A = this chain, B = another copy of it.
């Protein structure tokens, strides 16, 4: 019953899974591949908010939970196999299988903690500490991701990222 509600989709590198300012009805489980959530500000600058790799979930949750238009773009940066589920179908499953609702409650609690730690990190950590946390959060991800995406996630320039990597390599 649950599996029937999931649809398998593949997304090619550079394709947009989610576009800014649209409605959204899905969240996505990453079976394999890599995606990037980003935001384009008024000056046209991209801000990378999140990456998603194998066994992560991804969506524009501001739109999905908040019932509003999407604010982010989600781009595929390594060909991906995803399982998507419609919000209405998931709510239906919650009504029939409380264990699934519990699973998703715990999932969002963990995501909330990760976000609080990120807010805290932005307030208090050096760029080097944030880079080390990034490596811990996304192990083995680095080879798929362009340097300017990592730098954008960390809120630093690519030059600063290079300097940090050199520092770490030396120590």
Contact = CB atoms under 8 A, between A and B. Distances in A.
9 contacts: A41-B123, A42-B124, A62-B120, A65-B112, A65-B113, A66-B110, A108-B112, A115-B115, A118-B119
B61 A123 contact: no
A108 B116 CA distance: 13
Contacts of A41: 123-124
Interface residues of A, number: 32
Interface of A is mostly: helix
| Identical copies of this chain, number | 2
A39 B124 contact: yes
Contact of A123 (B65, B116, B155): B155
A102 B104 CA distance: 10
A118 B62 CA distance: 11
